[in-house]
Amino acid sequence: MYSSISESGTDMLVIKDPHSIRIHSLETFGTHDGPGIRMVVFVQGCQFRCLYCQNPDTLSMAGGTLVSIDELVRRAINQKTYFGNKGGVTVSGGEPLLQRTKLITFFKELHDNNINTCLDSNGRLLDDDVKELLSHADLLLLDVKHINDEWHHKLTGVSNKPTLRLAEYCESIGQRMWLRYVLVPGWSDQPEFLLEWAQHFENYKTIEKVEIIPYHKLGVHKWELLGMPYQLSETKVPSTEIKEMALNIFQQHFSNVILK
């Protein structure tokens, strides 16, 4: 279940509050963003401009609302009974790394309450704060949107080099990871690049799962409501053949591949 959190009239007063996180929405009882049942915090703001973004309303840091870390921890504790042995809290986006210093505090407090933490990121940043945040994340869900830098630019507006660098760092420290790949016909379904993607990561020992996420158009109406041109209006969802092709390539290089 999704719920928006409003906090009208306070943004300008507490925008620099180190104890609040700017979020877009919350999902309770989430099952798609990490192991088990999870509370998913969707933060506001993202530096990527993915052509297929399903939540374009999360892109601007000026949007969303500020919610105190204490309030988010309280909500997580209230849901703790449902987490079981595998569940916990996932911070997704938008892009969480843009609020990394606040998330360090959030993840520390969650761990103080024995709540599992998961970070869902595009991997655009890697500094000392990101490294500290990763040290408090039980699992990283890393979106590696294309292995070819030129195509990555076309899809997202930015280079894939920072993401690959963060993945390499995580491998070096033994950070548990699930990799995610959005399969977009004509954009990220080229067999040669799928093979290159798989070969790039196949020897990583920290990768526990690879998730293939087929492109869909569920967020197109948000682009229209925001008056933003949707450049993939003519792009179709991947066919069974395309999905099976990607699955077969990845399965040759990873032991645990899930087609969502």
The 10s digit of each residue's pLDDT in 181-190 is 999 999 999 9
Structural domain range at position 181: 2-259
- Specify the CATH number for the domain of residue 16: 3.20.20.70
Q: What is the pTM of this model?
A: 0.91
As a whole number of angstroms, the distance between CA 259 and CA 257 comes to 7
Contact 175, 134 (CB under 8 A): yes
> How far apart are the C-alpha atoms of 210 and 51, rounded to whole Å?
22
Tell me 252's DSSP state: T
Token code pair at residue 54: 């399903």
> At a CB cut-off of 8 Å and minimum separation 6, what does 16 contact?
none
Cis ω on the peptide bond leading into residue 94 (within 30° of 0)?
yes
Peptide bond into 84 cis (omega under 30): no
**By percentage, how much of the chain surpasses pLDDT 90?**
90
In this prediction, residue 218 carries a pLDDT of 87
Tens-digit pLDDT profile for residues 207-254 = 999 999 999 998 899 999 999 999 999 999 999 999 999 999 999 999
Q: Determine the Cα–Cα distance for residues 77 and 109; give it in Å rounded to an integer.
A: 11
pLDDT (tens digit per residue) in 148-179: 999 999 999 999 999 999 999 999 999 999 99
Phi, psi of 23 (to 5 degrees): -120, 160
Q: What is the pLDDT of residues 31-65, one digit of tens each?
A: 999 999 999 999 999 999 999 999 999 999 888 99
In whole numbers, what is the pLDDT of the chain averaged over residues? 93
Tally of domains in the chain: 1
Contacts of 121 (CB under 8 A, 6+ apart): 93, 95, 96, 97, 140, 141, 142, 143, 166
For 193, counting Cβ atoms within 10 Å of its Cβ (0-12 exposed, 13-18 middle, 19+ buried), the class is middle
Taking the CB of residue 118, how many other CB atoms lie within 10 A of it? 24
Distance CA 219, CA 54 (A): 4
